[in-house]
Structure 1
Amino acid sequence: MAAPLAGMFSGQPPRPPLAPPGLPGQGSLLWATPDTLRSSPSTLEDELESSFEACFASLVEAKQVSKDDYVNGTDQEEIRTDVDKCIQKFLDIARKTEYFFLQKRLQLSIQKPEQVIKEDISELRNELQWKDALVQKHLTKLQHWHQVLEDVSVQHKKLADIPQVSSAYLSQAAANVPAPMKQT
């Protein structure tokens, strides 16, 4: 296991890890073999960057070609297939990169478990600070809405204190009003 670390820390380009035996659903094409690593002068980072650039270039090319009116259906299918291949290659290399870092994390947790615990504690502290800030934000909103509800309640009580006039009283008062006099 010291060989991958040596590549990472000695100035040599890091090698992508080999697939662990027994990973279900993972094809051997996703993982580099020692023969392909020795024959390939590029690093995993270079492969990821070049595959991303290829994806971007194929998408730009597809956009350019789709603007042309004379493109027939087979050309569009070829373009779509090329774009799909580029994206799949990028995803495969991204999986290799993720596996590489997961393997490094595992090695670190075996060699220096206290470092992993310190990182976990730091992450938990950060999460607690974030949650405390979120709780404070919600408390501020709750206080605001509590004040709004109190204001509405006070206004409602003021309206309740005003004597209510019944419709029967209004009808009786309207009957007692004299009719206007006609002018001749």
Structure 2
Amino acid sequence: MASSLSGMFPSQPPVPPPIPPGSATGLMATPPGPKNPNVTLVDELESSFEACFASLVSQDYVNGTDQEEIRTGVDQCVQKFLDVARQTECFFLQKRLQLSVQKPEQVIKEDISELRNELQRKEVLIQKHLTKLRSWQQVLEEINVQHKKTSEMTQGPLAYLEQASANIPAPMKQT
């Protein structure tokens, strides 16, 4: 990923991290961000992500007995990753803002495309639910028909004969 995006961010200055609590001036001796000007935010994000995993599987931490030291090391790696992730997010938000100012029609086109995709996704979901609804309606109809047949058969032969004889027309009287 870094190789395809490495040329995208070299001129972008990183966003400074928040001022730590208890800091008197908030000024730092060295500017935040990559120490090497050829290192991009994506490269730094990738290396900090790898450092998070390395800290979790490092033999120093596996064999370590001081839980507080382990926790502090892992917290520092995760915090660095989160800081670089925020800087990267800020960069993309700035680019998005520039795009919306320079080409507002592009943002509208993207919004329309996203709305169309959402409508298609919801239409597929509706069709899926309708299919399930039809299958359950069919199951209920079959149960209803079965129940009617069962109730007719459980009436017994006498009730069946009475019902059948009631349907026979009465004989005509001869005068």
Report the RMSD for the aligned CA atoms in angstroms: 2.8
The answer on whether the counterparts of 2:100 and 2:106 sit within 8 Å (CA) in structure 1 is: yes
TM-fit CA distance, 1:40: 3.8
- Residue 56 in structure 1 maps to residue 47 in structure 2: no
Q: 1:78 to 1:97 in 2, by over 3 A?
A: same
Q: CA deviation at 1:163?
A: 4.0
* Separation in structure 1 between the aligned mates of residue 88 and residue 13 of structure 2, nearest angstrom: 7
Kindly indicate whether residue 86 of structure 2 is the aligned counterpart of residue 133 of structure 1.
Answer: no
Structure 1 runs (4+) greater than 6 angstroms displaced? none
Identical-residue share of aligned pairs (%): 62
Give the gaps of 5 or more residues in structure 2: 21-27, 157-175
Could you report, residue by residue, the CA deviation over 1:4-30 in whole angstroms, capped at 9, with x for unpaired residues? xxxx9x8771424546xxxxxx7247x
Gaps of 5+ in 1: 1-7, 20-25, 166-184
Question: Aligned partners of 1:139, 1:161: CA distance in 2, in Å?
Answer: 33
Q: Is the 8 A contact 2:49 2:81 kept in 1?
A: yes
Q: What's the offset of the Cα at 1:161? A: 1.2
Which position in structure 2 is the counterpart of 1:13? 10
Give the aligned partner of residue 107 of structure 1.
98
Contact 1:16–1:44 at 8 Å: present in 2 too?
A: no
Q: Which residue of 2 aligns with 1:119?
A: 110
Could you give the per-residue CA deviations for residues 130-160 of structure 1, whole angstroms, max 9, x where no partner exists?
0000000000000000000000000001112
Deviations 1:31-73 (A, max 9, x none): xx995569542211111111111111101116x743x4xx43x
* Change in CA separation of 1:81 and 1:35 when aligned onto 2, cut-off 3 Å: closer
Partner amino acid, structure 2, of 1:51: S
Query: Paired residues, what number?
Result: 142
Question: Cα distance 1:13–1:123, how it changes in 2: closer, same or farther (>3 A)?
Answer: same
TM-score by length of 2: 0.70
Answering whether residue 145 of structure 2 is matched by residue 148 of structure 1, we say: no
**Could you give the per-residue CA deviations for residues 56-93 of structure 1, whole angstroms, max 9, x where no partner exists?**
1101116x743x4xx43x2x321221011000100111
Matched-pair contact (CA < 8 Å) for 1:55–1:83: yes
Task: Read off the aligned partner of 1:96 and give its amino acid letter.
Answer: Q
Task: Give the equivalent residue in structure 1 for 2:171.
Answer: none
Normalised to the residue count of structure 1, the TM-score between the two structures is: 0.67
**Contact conserved, 2:44 with 2:84, CA < 8 A, in 1?**
yes
Higher helix proportion (structure 1 or 2): 1
